[in-house]
Amino acid sequence: MGIIAKNLVQMAEVQLTTFGKENAKVDAELIFRHCFNLDKAGFFKLWGAELDETAIEQYMQIIAVRASGVPLQHITGEQGFMGLTFAVDPEVLIPRQETEVLAGEVIKHIKERKKTCIVLDLGCGSGAIGISIAKLCKNAKVVASDINAKAIELSKRNAKAIGVDDRMSFVRGDLFGPFKGLFRNDKFDIIVSNPPYIKSDIIPTLQVEVRDHEPLSALDGGVDGLIYYREILEKAPMYLKKDGVLALEIGHDQAIEIMEIAKMHRKFKNGKFIKDLTGKDRVMILYL
């Protein structure tokens, strides 16, 4: 016996709510569209249709996967970022809305410069930051680097799908490792990075979607959450051009400590913090 699509989606919403999913209605609808390969128009067209048992079972099995804590993005295989759609992978961090603040600040800076800017997306992950910059700034050329081979592969696919692969290059390696050497002179106008910044002992307390399904290497910032900032703030000046800019995403409670690290190296003239939509410090901009 079949069930009307509308009623099925409502049943799924109830199940997801029972398992504590905050956006149960949205998740139920997006999974339905993904399961039946529907756009918004197709979704509403099917709203009153009766579904057979096979379709119902298929949909509810995927709902059960979501209820268990698997991120919605790992089910649909995609995530929106800066108005673009990125493929995602369980081995690479899902782009977050707060990171749009970082990308937006860099994009604003590049557009103000008007001349061609060479940008390093350090620890690029899915490529969301660097690809968004290349897509929205015609005067930007982007080098995307990551230690994770899966991230480089995914970034390349996203760059090609979004149509900016002609203005991007990809390098695998740990932080600035690929750019140092006796006969190298890599310099960038802007270095942008969203490094791991969660304290190691905080990770077990995170939501199951993050704790159990995001790569630990993309989350763990060491005992105090600052291990990567120390290296980036120490070495970034060597890879920035004169009047270069370093843009970093930070944890909402790390601003003072990170600024102290920056001051210790005495390389940057000044800096500022940008708040996210919740009013928390989220981005640090430093000027060489």
Q: Annotate 188-203 with three-state secondary structure.
A: EEEEEECCCCECHHHH
**E strand or H helix at 245:** strand 240-249
Cα–Cα dist 276/198, whole Å: 17
Query: To 10 degrees, what angle do helices 5-18 and 53-67 make?
Result: 20
pLDDT score, position 225? 94
CATH superfamily of 81-287: Vaccinia Virus protein VP39 (3.40.50.150)
pLDDT score, position 185? 67
Q: Which amino acid is at 25?
A: K
Q: Is the separation of the CB atoms in 150 and 91 below 8 Å?
A: yes
pLDDT score, position 22? 85
Residues of the chain with pLDDT under 70: 1, 181-185
pLDDT score, position 183? 52
Closest to 243 measured CA to CA, from 139, 149, 112, 129: 112
pLDDT score, position 82? 96
Q: Which residue is it, tokens 């190691």? A: 200
Terminal CA-to-CA distance of the chain, rounded, Å?
A: 68
pLDDT score, position 266? 81
**E strand or H helix at 141:** strand 140-146
Cα–Cα dist 247/144, whole Å: 15
- Give the model confidence (pLDDT) of 23-49 as tens digits: 899 999 999 999 989 888 888 888 888
pLDDT score, position 79? 96
Question: What are the extents of the domains in the chain?
Answer: 3-68, 81-287
DSSP classification of residue 288: -
